[in-house]
Amino acid sequence: MRSFGADTRLPTLAVVLDIIRERGAVSRVELADVTGLTPATMTHAVRKLTELGLVHEVGTVPSNRGTPRRLMGIKADACYMVGVQLDQFAAVGVVVDLAGRIVVRRDMPPAGQRPLAEVVADIAAAVHGMLEDADVPSGKVLGIGLATYGPQDREAGVVITPHPTPEWTGYPLAETLSEATGLPVALENDATAAGLGVQTAGGSGSSFAVVFMSGGIGGGVILDGHPYRGVTSNGVELGHISVDALGADCPCGNRGCLDPVAGPRPVVERALENPVLAARLGLGTDTLTDFNRIGRAARGGDAAAAALIADSAQRLAVATVTLVNMFDVGRVVLAGQAFAESGQAYRDVLEEWLNRSVFMRHVHTVEVDLADDVALAAALGGAAVVLRNLLESPNPELRGAAEATA
């Protein structure tokens, strides 16, 4: 049996909740007008969201028909979502309320090359610490969205990557973290999560691509508010597209891949080959820290550092042209910890290159933006995934609804 419904179903509840969140206080009529949904569908959606305890009446406005229109608003403290982004060199978590506000954030110990049991224990402790800081009872937490490396079996919550250590191949990351925290855990690709995080901050229903750069390079595409996933949620692997058909073999199986020629790791390696530069910038900590030191120096006018960033940016630009030529989007957003210092430099190179080189540039231009907070976008997206999974499920039930509405 094939189901045509699963992937094309309109996630009405998510759409409606997003708009109520964006507008603050909104009537059913206005909701129907903005979404294009029928009044009956809208009434059903608002009722379901009210039953779930996610929205409530926040006031009324006079209407032409005599009966005042009721305005619906988000119950911001009805429930909370935790988002965590984890990779070898960076880890950060957020607790987000239903209105999308960050209640607390916390830097966590990155994965490094440590045993995963230790990594998971650290995340669990950090999550509990965040909830304590924010005074949020765990009964009000819908779950944790964990954004990390692909490839992954997203539905099973299992990572399928040999990076950063072979232990990651087939590791049940979601289940292990769920056991350690007592909370449901949803796994998500970090670049896709960054896209969802950008969308949470910047408006629903939009279309754009994400270039994600932390310890490595990844990609994501959001189209009309929905992540492009492909058949196994492992699409948009920007770091492992070939930018040189005759280039070096990559451990991924491909050759001349973008990440090993333009990512933070090769940039840092090239810098370390220059002992004077390495000493001047104080390199030698870890890839991401060193990369951001190079970025800061480039910004400050260090010519050698600027040349390294410019070379990486040009190669990334070539791959981003491919990304845009493949997905036909009019906006590219840069996110991830590696853009913390050099984001503006990359942005400028990419925008210039894209508008000179993309195939459909006579049809539309391409805008390049930095995410509002490059370091938090993926964690924010992790939090968004938790709510989205709930609202897109066939019959959503709110975990801890009793506590939430009590």
Residues of span 5-44 touching its own copies by CB under 8 A: 5-10, 15, 33-37
The minimum distance between CB 184 and its own copies, in angstroms, equals 23
Under the binding rule (CB under 8 A), the answer on residue 64 touching its own copies is no
Strand, coil or helix: what is 209?
strand
Of the two residues 83 and 219, which places its CB atom closer to its own copies in the complex? 219
Q: Which of 153, 302, 367, 392 binds its own copies (CB under 8 A)?
A: 153
What are the CA-CA distances from residue 255 to residues 126, 141, 250 (Å)?
Answer: 39, 44, 5
Under the binding rule (CB under 8 A), the answer on residue 272 touching its own copies is no
Site for its own copies in 337-366 (CB under 8 A): 356-364
> Token pair 């949620």 is at which residue?
233
Taking the C-alpha atoms of residue 142 and residue 184, their distance in angstroms, rounded to an integer, is: 7
Of the two residues 245 and 406, which places its CB atom closer to its own copies in the complex? 245
Stretch that binds its own copies, among 79-87, 173-181, 217-225, 275-283 (CB under 8 A): 217-225
Stretch that binds its own copies, among 179-187, 240-248, 277-285, 290-298 (CB under 8 A): 240-248
**Other C-beta atoms within 10 Å of 246: how many?**
7
Of the two residues 15 and 374, which places its CB atom closer to its own copies in the complex? 15
Site for its own copies in 296-325 (CB under 8 A): 314-315, 318-319, 321-323, 325
312 with 349: CB under 8 angstroms?
no
Beta bridge partners of 187: 146
**Other C-beta atoms within 10 Å of 64: how many?**
6
The minimum distance between CB 157 and its own copies, in angstroms, equals 14
Nearest in space to 354 (alpha carbons), one of 343, 365, 370: 365
Taking the C-alpha atoms of residue 338 and residue 318, their distance in angstroms, rounded to an integer, is: 18
* Count of chain residues binding its own copies (CB under 8 A): 73
Of the two residues 116 and 223, which places its CB atom closer to its own copies in the complex? 223
Under the binding rule (CB under 8 A), the answer on residue 327 touching its own copies is yes
The minimum distance between CB 10 and its own copies, in angstroms, equals 5
Taking the C-alpha atoms of residue 116 and residue 148, their distance in angstroms, rounded to an integer, is: 13
Q: Which of 169, 344, 365, 393 binds its own copies (CB under 8 A)?
A: 169
Site for its own copies in 244-263 (CB under 8 A): 244-246, 252-256
Nearest in space to 190 (alpha carbons), one of 90, 65, 55: 90
The minimum distance between CB 312 and its own copies, in angstroms, equals 12
The minimum distance between CB 206 and its own copies, in angstroms, equals 9
Of the two residues 83 and 235, which places its CB atom closer to its own copies in the complex? 235
Under the binding rule (CB under 8 A), the answer on residue 228 touching its own copies is yes
Strands 226-227 vs 217-223: parallel, antiparallel or unpaired: antiparallel
Q: Which of 97, 237, 341, 351 binds its own copies (CB under 8 A)?
A: 237
Taking the C-alpha atoms of residue 177 and residue 328, their distance in angstroms, rounded to an integer, is: 37
Taking the C-alpha atoms of residue 26 and residue 18, their distance in angstroms, rounded to an integer, is: 11
DSSP letters for 14-82: HHHHHHHHHHSSEEHHHHHHHH---HHHHHHHHHHHHHTTSEEEEEEE--TTSSPEEEEEE-TTS-EEE
The minimum distance between CB 243 and its own copies, in angstroms, equals 4
Nearest in space to 211 (alpha carbons), one of 247, 176, 183, 239: 239
The minimum distance between CB 341 and its own copies, in angstroms, equals 24
Under the binding rule (CB under 8 A), the answer on residue 229 touching its own copies is yes
The minimum distance between CB 300 and its own copies, in angstroms, equals 28
Taking the C-alpha atoms of residue 273 and residue 20, their distance in angstroms, rounded to an integer, is: 54
Backbone angles phi, psi at 96, to 5 degrees: -120, 135
